[in-house]
């Protein structure tokens, strides 16, 4: 056995890493994220998730049933203690963020434990935390109602579990004994991850392959282990039944496209509506700036860490570490091939795992063992990432201002039943005002583009007696479908059709202008009428 | 046709001076080029007139 192999399979430090330092990291991060979290919903899906958690509803595909069930209980408890719904929903993400950062520290410390001696293993373990804890892309997820802080928390729990199970499977004194307990535990971890976020497969797949390799090498696979693994997986996945149940028992806040059929439920669970994003990279201008400033500079050492994870020896003891490297590459590739306008959160898993691997590789590198290296890197990272604190504060202030503006605009809508059209995901804020604050239940909030889909369209026709997409513009068909102009004209045609099909007043709600417009009823030229919608 | 006659702007919620003092900073938001954000990007009905 080579000297390197001997080092890699024997702990270099006599005392295994304890949980207390990681717990301290988690508590500090929880306090920080709670302090940085605004008392209002944020942008993007935050308003929807806040409302879903408060009402135990159902979010957009893939439904996030585990997040919804656990988060709803958490949010209701905090609300009962006096928090607003938005504060409670944001606090749930803060808790997920704290668990994730504690996990990043614990994982790095355990990787270092398997590495060569260093004078500052504790400080090396802190480096990935210092790089990520105040990272603006991360604090957006850890201070607002979103699913990604809990996803990273799961990634870290899965990584730690894989390390532990890998060691258990490789124990010489248990060779030949089927590892049913380990299989059940790993199946449960994989199932929980899949129930929370579809991209968990990018982590669970390589880790499962590594564990299977170890189990096979040490003759620890048997029918009992396979059955136990499947049972654990099914148990972890059980919360997806909530999506099926909600399809037949709709909540007040529910993704409107969900169809109460087996095909509709499956389409919701597998995110079929978002497959069109696959295969391209299309960040918005603001995201391009954010990626260049905050993500790519850390992605370089993260990918270097992934590459270093595959350094020899390719033994069973390092199979799990190799799988971490593979997960970093898979997650990075996915982020570059998912064409949403805001891809930055999809890099977080690669950054966290990759930076943990990079810290371990750096600690193993002889020139980096100088006593000054780890403190110098820690100080440099702290200084570099310090602006992230101000960015998170400024973001929270901005969201509070936006919430104030939205509330004043909402309050300015004249009394009486009316349609309020806001062609933006933030329309969920208006539904939250209705459902959580009993404000203006007489108003009908419309996100027009949703009405072009079968289920919302059918419901609208049942309730109002006319088809909101009956006057679909020719420019939005064929080659025009999906183009910016085609979509704009289609949305305008829906607004016009509703306005003319109903006797109720129709207001176009545009906080970004800001503008609140009453569209006049008119029997004339519909194209002219639609110009009443202000340009963005 | 005079389009301005087809809609009426309501601004009782705000005056422009106050808006200037309280500018909402959209740089904190993940927005499309047109300032919007939509989880559901496509508008679909090929069968628009025949549901």
Q: Do A519 and B7 touch (CB under 8 A)?
A: yes
A515 neighbors A534 (Cβ within 8 angstroms) = yes
For every residue of A44-105, DSSP letters joined together read TTHHHHHHHHHHT-B-STT--HHHHHHHHHHHHHHHHTT--HHHHHHHHHHHHHHHHHHHHH
Work out the number of other CB atoms within 10 angstroms of the CB of residue A280.
11
Q: Do A401 and B35 touch (CB under 8 A)?
A: no
Of the partner residues A276, A411, A532, the one whose CB lies closest to the CB of residue B7: A532
pLDDT in tens, chain A (536 residues): 334 443 444 444 556 788 999 999 999 999 999 999 999 999 889 999 999 999 999 999 999 999 999 999 999 999 999 999 999 999 999 999 999 999 999 999 999 887 765 556 788 999 999 999 999 999 999 999 999 999 999 999 999 999 999 988 888 777 777 789 999 999 999 999 999 999 999 999 999 999 999 999 888 889 999 999 999 999 999 999 999 999 999 999 999 999 999 999 999 999 988 888 999 999 988 889 889 999 999 999 999 999 999 887 655 568 999 999 999 999 999 999 999 989 999 999 999 999 999 999 998 888 887 889 889 999 999 999 999 999 999 889 888 988 988 998 999 999 999 999 999 999 999 999 999 999 999 999 999 999 999 999 999 999 999 999 998 888 888 888 878 888 889 999 999 999 999 999 999 998 887 889 999 987 544 433 333 455 44
DSSP state of A278: B
Rounded to whole angstroms, the Cα distance separating A532 from A508 reads 9
Chain B positions touching A486 (Cβ under 8 A) are: 43
Chain A positions touching B34 (Cβ under 8 A) are: 484, 536
A294 neighbors A136 (Cβ within 8 angstroms) = yes
A401 neighbors A506 (Cβ within 8 angstroms) = no
DSSP state of A338: B
Rounded to 5°, angle at Cα A534 from A530 and B4: 65
The structural domains of chain A, with segments of one domain joined by +, span 18-390, 412-530
Q: Are strands A443-446 and A515-519 parallel, antiparallel or unpaired?
A: unpaired
B10 backbone dihedrals φ, ψ, rounded to 5°: -105, 120
The alpha carbon of residue B19 is apart from the nearest alpha carbon of chain A, in Å, by 9
The answer for B 1-51 residues in CB contact with A (under 8 A) is: 1, 3, 5-14, 19, 22, 24-46, 48-49, 51
Pick from B3, B39, B51 the residue to mutate for testing the A interface (most A CBs within 10 Å).
B39
Chain A positions touching B30 (Cβ under 8 A) are: 43-44, 284, 286-287, 341-342
Q: Do B45 and A472 touch (CB under 8 A)?
A: yes
A377 neighbors A383 (Cβ within 8 angstroms) = no
Rounded to whole angstroms, the Cα distance separating A257 from B39 reads 12
Work out the number of other CB atoms within 10 angstroms of the CB of residue A40.
24
At residue B7, the 3 state secondary structure works out as strand
Q: Do A286 and B32 touch (CB under 8 A)?
A: no
A17 neighbors A160 (Cβ within 8 angstroms) = no
Q: What is the ipTM of this complex?
A: 0.72
């Amino acid at each position: 056995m080579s000297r390197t192999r001997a080092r890699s399979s024997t702990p270099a430090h006599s005392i295994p890493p304890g949980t207390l330092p990681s717990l301290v990291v988690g508590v500090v991060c929880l306090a920080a994220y709670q302090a940085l979290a605004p008392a209002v919903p944020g942008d993007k899906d935050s308003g929807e998730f806040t409302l879903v958690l408060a009402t135990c509803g159902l979010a957009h595909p893939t439904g996030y049933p585990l997040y919804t069930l656990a988060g709803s209980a958490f949010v209701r408890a905090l609300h009962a203690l006096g928090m607003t719904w938005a504060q409670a929903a944001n606090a749930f993400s803060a808790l997920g963020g704290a668990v994730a950062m504690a996990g990043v520290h614990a994982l790095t410390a355990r990787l270092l434990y398997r590495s060569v001696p260093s004078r500052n293993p504790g400080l090396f373990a802190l480096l990935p935390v210092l790089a990520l804890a105040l990272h603006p892309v991360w604090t957006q997820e850890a201070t607002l109602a979103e699913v990604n802080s809990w996803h990273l928390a799961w990634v870290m729990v899965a990584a730690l579990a894989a390390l532990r199970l890998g060691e258990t499977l490789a124990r010489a004194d248990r060779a030949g004994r089927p590892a049913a307990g380990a299989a059940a535990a790993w199946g449960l971890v994989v199932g929980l991850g899949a129930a929370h976020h579809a991209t968990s497969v990018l982590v669970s797949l390589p880790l499962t392959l590594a564990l299977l390799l170890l189990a096979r090498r040490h003759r620890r696979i048997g029918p009992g282990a396979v059955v136990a693994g499947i049972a654990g997986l099914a148990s972890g996945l059980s919360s997806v039944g909530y999506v099926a149940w909600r399809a037949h028992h709709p909540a007040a806040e529910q993704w409107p496209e969900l169809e109460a059929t087996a095909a509709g439920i499956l389409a919701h669970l597998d995110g079929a509506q978002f497959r069109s994003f696959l295969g391209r990279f299309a960040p918005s201008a603001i995201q391009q700036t954010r990626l260049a400033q905050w993500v790519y500079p850390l992605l370089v050492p993260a990918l270097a860490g992934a590459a270093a994870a595959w350094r020899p020896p390719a033994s069973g003891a390092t199979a799990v570490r190799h799988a971490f490297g593979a997960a970093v590459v898979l997650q990075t590739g996915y982020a570059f091939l998912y064409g949403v306008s805001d891809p930055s959160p999809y890099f977080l898993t690669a950054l966290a795992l990759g930076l943990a691997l990079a810290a371990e590789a750096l600690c193993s590198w002889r020139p980096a063992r100088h006593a000054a290296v780890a403190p110098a890197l820690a100080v440099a990272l702290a200084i570099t990432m310090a602006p992230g604190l101000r960015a998170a504060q400024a973001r929270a202030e901005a969201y509070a201002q936006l919430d104030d503006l939205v509330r004043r605009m909402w309050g300015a809508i004249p009394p009486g039943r009316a349609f309020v059209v806001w062609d933006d995901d933030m329309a969920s804020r208006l539904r939250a005002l209705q459902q959580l604050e009993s404000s203006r239940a007489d108003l009908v909030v419309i996100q027009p583009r949703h009405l072009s889909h079968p289920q919302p369209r059918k419901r609208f026709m049942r309730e109002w007696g006319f088809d909101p997409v009956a006057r679909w513009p020719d420019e939005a068909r064929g080659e025009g479908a999906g183009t910016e102009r085609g979509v704009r004209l289609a949305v305008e045609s829906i607004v016009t059709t509703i306005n003319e099909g109903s006797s109720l007043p129709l207001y176009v709600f545009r906080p970004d202008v800001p503008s609140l417009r009453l569209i006049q009823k008119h029997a004339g030229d519909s194209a002219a009428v639609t110009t009443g919608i202000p340009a963005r | 046709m005079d389009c301005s006659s087809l809609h009426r702007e309501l601004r009782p919620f705000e005056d422009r001076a106050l808006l200037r003092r309280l500018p909402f900073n959209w740089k904190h938001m993940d927005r499309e080029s047109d300032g919007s954000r939509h989880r559901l990007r496509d508008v679909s009905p090929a069968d628009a007139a025949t549901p």
